[in-house]
Amino acid sequence: MVVVTTIRKVNDDLIMRAQKIAAFLNTKYVPRRKEGISKIKERYNADVALVVKSNQLILDLPEGEMFFHPNMAQVRIKRLRYGGNDNMLDAMQVKKGMKILDCTLGFAADAIVSSYGVGENGKIVGLEVNPLISLVVKEGLKTYLPTNYDLKAAMNNIEVINQDYLSFLKAQPDNSFDIVYFDPMFRHALLDSKNLSPLRQLADNRPVSPEAIEQAKRVAKYRVVFKENSRSLEFARLGFEKICGGKYAPIHYGVIDV
């Protein structure tokens, strides 16, 4: 169960916003009344509490808090601004003005970098099947204030849709996106990805199906790109014969040119 509440220092606008979010999620709004989040969760037998702040939404999960932050996206964009490369953009062969479908948005780090790559005339559509993650990221992309214009412009150019990728792909015309991208939760987690542990509680852990890849090949004009652990057998299972990424890199990208 999920409950929606606010921070302790509250006003009428914040209460109204929290109530609207609870109604949107079809769940219960709980007045904070200076009570601790753990107590609220215990009282309502809730696994997750969505805490509404004036400029941020926070998910309180059994393994920790999660909130929107560009994280490594800002580091990767900084590297690109100074003439460096990015393995994901290289695998995608991103060009300015492209339209990219990110089928597994998560907390949007890859989508932000993709958005920077396509520029202001391009477009990123990000699909997130979990309504909580989708809401937190959609709000975060609008309200987070980065330190530079390039990062903010990239964040502004992402459309977030709460839908599973297979049904979305089936509804799209042929060649309607330049690139279709998948970054599913790794079948075998990397040791240095412990900061993603809370996200794993909400993420869609189902493996990507061959049907989804076939639909992606139909929808993509140029290529389908699949991100995974470099040791993963998913590339072979899904028909990705072309693999990009550094020889010793822990992450590789499978590519299908269409």
pLDDT digits (tens, 9 = 90+) for 245-257: 877 889 999 999 9
**Residue ranges with strand state E in the chain:** 2-6, 28-29, 48-52, 57-61, 64-67, 99-102, 123-127, 158-161, 177-182, 220-229, 242-244, 251-257
- Predicted local distance difference test score (pLDDT) of residue 255: 98
Q: Label residues 138-153 b or e (16+ Cβ within 10 Å = b).
A: bbbbeebebeeebbee
Query: Is the confidence at residue 189, as pLDDT, over 70?
Result: no
- Predicted local distance difference test score (pLDDT) of residue 18: 97
User: What is the pLDDT confidence band of residue 201, given thresholds at 50, 70 and 90?
Assistant: low
The secondary structure of 171-239, three-state, reads CCCCCCEEEEEECCCCCCCCCCCHHHHHHHCCCCCCCCCHHHHHHHHHHEEEEEEEEEECCCCHHHHHC
State pTM to two decimals. 0.92
Mean pLDDT of all residues in 147-168 = 96
* Pick from 10-14, 187-191, 230-234: least confident: 187-191
- Predicted local distance difference test score (pLDDT) of residue 200: 62
- The closest alpha carbon to 45, from 109, 90, 13, 1, belongs to 1
- Predicted local distance difference test score (pLDDT) of residue 153: 96
- Per residue in 98-120, pLDDT tens? 999 999 999 999 999 999 999 99
- Predicted local distance difference test score (pLDDT) of residue 197: 57
- Predicted local distance difference test score (pLDDT) of residue 245: 87
- Per residue in 205-214, pLDDT tens? 889 999 999 9
